[in-house]
Structure 1
């Protein structure tokens, strides 16, 4: 693909537009415009008509005469990019984070419990639900316990999910209501942590969370689902995202999201990968799309293992800092392969969560088995299935071949690497870091690497994700010894990870992902030029303009540029 430059035809194009042009017709100028097309020059002007790009190129003379009714957007030095898409996030969790106890950034057990205590005072009735704590950098050096929660919120029903969503700590009333005691055996794929006295500490990992019971009348939604999604949409439009690949989208919420899109309440694009309970129904219906592609549902999300931080990621060898475990597989070959085969026959994409090296290798082998069992002639998509592994976080280098040969899209989250660098070496040991967060190695092999955030596990800020991809350092600039700096990527690659490659992974690269004539007018503008600014400044970039289908869905109150 290449940028289309039409300087000679520009005047004629503008004069031909009737005076009654749609409100979404616009001209954008006043800052660098990065098309995302390799080798293309930085453009100076973009013209949009009826939601599509009709011109991208240099500014002519003093500027064209703009037809009546058009919007003229002056970037004021801000940098414009193809619309950024979060290739892996949880829209419901993003909205819920705005409405529940948020423990993100807690610096210690003491601080987390101070927040809980304050929340309990401000919300004296009902259960307390929260998320976002992570113990790996706490001075106490331990997980939260039921005793911590009981002291901060005596007698209350409290459930606080770890940041990765693969573990939760609950209060004693929850343990009692759920019937979890010293004799309780964790289900396959789960773990109940117990103290020296054999009693549960209150922390449950992965499948063990399924044992939890709630009081009568309790709902884990902090508000009506529509309000939760509205909150998520508002946050993401403000961050500059024009689209989200909604992983583990509840099958029951798909009609609501579609209705919101039809009603004009979905300001950004949603690509749904639904929970396994919706797989059979989606296979029967086939891909779904509403509101001119604003909400598309054509994938199912499966889980192979847990997370690294809670030691649920499935490894071939034991954890270096806990030799008694190799992690937790969440499904077996016998469970996975029939679902994969059914997906192939129905034209539905598969996205499978796999973090540990054993989890990734298992999924790749199961993919290969299903692809061999269902020939291309029996698949609506033929050879073009575009299956994904979500996270692909810890790989054995010899397993890179699966991503090339099958092929498999690697859907990865750069911010995980700059958070995990503080504990992953202890979990894995040095040797296994060779295949950890290996963006550059996979890209060099021609693998499509989709960038995402996994919000609300991470903040969900595109500037932080872009920085993480190119710097491979935490937000203080720390990288640590032997954190494989060569796995960082260049800025054009990082741009593709959040624009063109998510478009490809959702089968929409012909209309999204770059700024080219004929494509949909999805743009993100930042007050910092991500392609030229010093590396350390990148996380501070703020979106000043978010445009979807030629409609401004977010504009900063004061869109000023930085030198």
Structure 2
């Protein structure tokens, strides 16, 4: 009763426009992520003026002037600093909404039934899809051209595996691309063939480029719609920002135009494809719309993915001894590119999943850094280079992340999906350095949390749950899946708030709820700090706020 009366008095005359920049948020625990929270506990109120935090604290310290504020009652939901997806593919998230989505297919038969239905509903043009993964299928095998041919006879079909590192092509697609039994795989790629030497239809890593020209080029309107869909999905999940990995260089002007036109509701930090490296280095970091779209990093690939056996390992795969994975680039090519980025003040993010891939990248980083003195770098010693995934490490290589240092950009959901096949791929011994979040954090390494969507679903609550539970969504962990590598909840919160801010050079503006910082908030129906772990992924985002503007609100 006293609380209701107090709020009524405080909010007398408050504005009611939903898009107002000036807010009073209350009605649930407010976790600031700031150091003082450890002793003071959650806050009760946040005041936002002009897109920045003007007050955060208890009702006893509320400012006397609360005029012009729009009230937001959390109704028991928990508020956090804005959650940032530290590694996602915004274009892929959008296209997942607009093309054939095979995510969740329980078998080859179900996936092909979806393909048949899509082909019937879309009788013209190539069929593009993504999201299948064979690890749970009763057939226990990859898709083949024969599967696609039976489901969509005569059609050009390209269906990417969930990890994006393999694509299965129909016979019509193989023929259109000129792929035969005599076609040699490009460096860093593999064309799977049957016992007779004929292509099965599965193309791994660099071999995917052999059919890339068959995908219809999106017209500007369709591409813009894909990005709109990506923004919408991410806001609904509760993300306030995305580190857009492998952002197509050709799309950067479009994203900047969308931001200037008010069509980019979230913060986007771009790490661009290598084709834009020279131009980005020459022009320097880019920022538009008051930092809504920032482009200051380049994404390279060292190896492939574990699921398709493209991740580069020191020793052969335990379940396929004839291969140790695929390196995508070599020292002589990459080190000069890294050094050019250093001289241009551009951040580097390199994909590395296997232990050999990660060790190679660390050694290349060391060479590049040693070859360009801090005085010759716009950022001096503060370069904040990243390894994306850092998935399988030798414990003896952890020191690289401390010594250089390197930011480890990791995706917790990979561990709760991969636990069903990684032991078979790696054998038990190599699991000691797999998905080693806790070990790295204990060494003082910045570990940025991400989702890798659309490789994974991309929901922040799944990612947070994976980080603290290290179990799949059914609660299964499996034998000795290194449970000690789970992290505590405070660490998980940093992985999706403060540490992504640091990795994008914005920790002074983002990552915690503190006076003067930008008003980016995420509220969930479940209290991530107190709820039973199993309940975390059952919640949903109820509020997403960026620069004080509500970009998503749910009941």
Q: Provide TM-score, normalisation by structure 2.
A: 0.95
Report the Cα offset of residue 288 of structure 1.
0.5
Report the Cα offset of residue 136 of structure 1.
1.0
Query: Contact 2:270–2:296 at 8 Å: present in 1 too?
Result: yes
Structure 2 counterpart of 1:498: 496
Query: Contact 1:157–1:174 at 8 Å: present in 2 too?
Result: yes
Secondary structure of 2:181's counterpart equals: coil
Query: Contact 1:100–1:222 at 8 Å: present in 2 too?
Result: no
Report the Cα offset of residue 356 of structure 1.
0.2
Report the Cα offset of residue 388 of structure 1.
0.1
Structure 2 counterpart of 1:47: 47
Q: Any idea what the Cα deviations from partners look like across 1:115-147, whole Å, max 9, x if unmatched?
A: 001111111111100000000111101000000
The answer to whether residue 516 in structure 2 is matched with residue 521 in structure 1 is: no
Q: Using a 3 Å threshold, how does the CA distance of structure 1 residues 328 and 222 change in structure 2: closer, same or farther?
A: farther
Q: Any idea what the Cα deviations from partners look like across 1:294-333, whole Å, max 9, x if unmatched?
A: 0000000000000000000000000000000000000000
Report the Cα offset of residue 223 of structure 1.
6.2
Structure 2 counterpart of 1:121: 120
Q: How many residues align?
A: 541
Match of 1:455 among 438, 453, 456: 453
Q: Using a 3 Å threshold, how does the CA distance of structure 1 residues 394 and 223 change in structure 2: closer, same or farther?
A: farther
The answer to whether residue 255 in structure 2 is matched with residue 257 in structure 1 is: yes
Give the Cα–Cα distance (whole angstroms) in 1 for the partners of residues 25 and 218 of structure 2. Answer: 44
Give the Cα–Cα distance (whole angstroms) in 2 for the partners of residues 302 and 335 of structure 1. Answer: 11
Give the Cα–Cα distance (whole angstroms) in 1 for the partners of residues 410 and 293 of structure 2. Answer: 22
Report the Cα offset of residue 64 of structure 1.
5.9
Give the Cα–Cα distance (whole angstroms) in 2 for the partners of residues 61 and 356 of structure 1. Answer: 52
The answer to whether residue 182 in structure 2 is matched with residue 180 in structure 1 is: no
Match of 1:31 among 15, 28, 31: 28
Q: Using a 3 Å threshold, how does the CA distance of structure 1 residues 131 and 223 change in structure 2: closer, same or farther?
A: farther
Structure 2 counterpart of 1:205: 204
Query: Contact 1:546–1:553 at 8 Å: present in 2 too?
Result: yes
Give the Cα–Cα distance (whole angstroms) in 2 for the partners of residues 104 and 81 of structure 1. Answer: 29
Give the Cα–Cα distance (whole angstroms) in 2 for the partners of residues 223 and 478 of structure 1. Answer: 44
Give the Cα–Cα distance (whole angstroms) in 1 for the partners of residues 45 and 226 of structure 2. Answer: 37
Give the Cα–Cα distance (whole angstroms) in 2 for the partners of residues 59 and 549 of structure 1. Answer: 23
Matches within 5 A, 1:472-483: 472-483=470-481
Higher helix proportion: 2
Report the Cα offset of residue 427 of structure 1.
0.2
Structure 1 counterpart of 2:351: 353
Structure 1 counterpart of 2:6: none
Structure 1 counterpart of 2:60: 60
Structure 2 counterpart of 1:328: 326
Give the Cα–Cα distance (whole angstroms) in 1 for the partners of residues 249 and 143 of structure 2. Answer: 32
Give the Cα–Cα distance (whole angstroms) in 1 for the partners of residues 236 and 190 of structure 2. Answer: 38
The answer to whether residue 409 in structure 2 is matched with residue 411 in structure 1 is: yes
Report the Cα offset of residue 459 of structure 1.
0.3
Structure 2 counterpart of 1:3: none
Secondary structure of 1:98's counterpart equals: helix
Secondary structure of 2:66's counterpart equals: coil
Report the Cα offset of residue 18 of structure 1.
12
Q: Provide TM-score, normalisation by structure 1.
A: 0.94
Greater mean deviation of Cα atoms: 53-62 or 77-86: 53-62
Give the Cα–Cα distance (whole angstroms) in 2 for the partners of residues 355 and 368 of structure 1. Answer: 18
Q: Using a 3 Å threshold, how does the CA distance of structure 1 residues 465 and 18 change in structure 2: closer, same or farther?
A: closer
Report the Cα offset of residue 220 of structure 1.
5.9
Report the Cα offset of residue 335 of structure 1.
1.1
Query: Contact 2:55–2:62 at 8 Å: present in 1 too?
Result: no
Structure 2 counterpart of 1:397: 395
Match of 1:299 among 293, 297, 300: 297
Q: Any idea what the Cα deviations from partners look like across 1:270-295, whole Å, max 9, x if unmatched?
A: 00000000000000000110100000
Structure 2 counterpart of 1:10: none
Give the Cα–Cα distance (whole angstroms) in 2 for the partners of residues 421 and 122 of structure 1. Answer: 36
Q: Using a 3 Å threshold, how does the CA distance of structure 1 residues 172 and 105 change in structure 2: closer, same or farther?
A: same
Query: Contact 1:174–1:213 at 8 Å: present in 2 too?
Result: no
Report the Cα offset of residue 66 of structure 1.
3.2
Report the Cα offset of residue 219 of structure 1.
2.2
Structure 2 counterpart of 1:139: 138
Query: Contact 2:16–2:71 at 8 Å: present in 1 too?
Result: no
Give the Cα–Cα distance (whole angstroms) in 2 for the partners of residues 229 and 436 of structure 1. Answer: 33
Give the Cα–Cα distance (whole angstroms) in 1 for the partners of residues 93 and 209 of structure 2. Answer: 22
Give the Cα–Cα distance (whole angstroms) in 2 for the partners of residues 343 and 504 of structure 1. Answer: 19
The answer to whether residue 497 in structure 2 is matched with residue 470 in structure 1 is: no
Q: CA RMSD in A?
A: 2.0
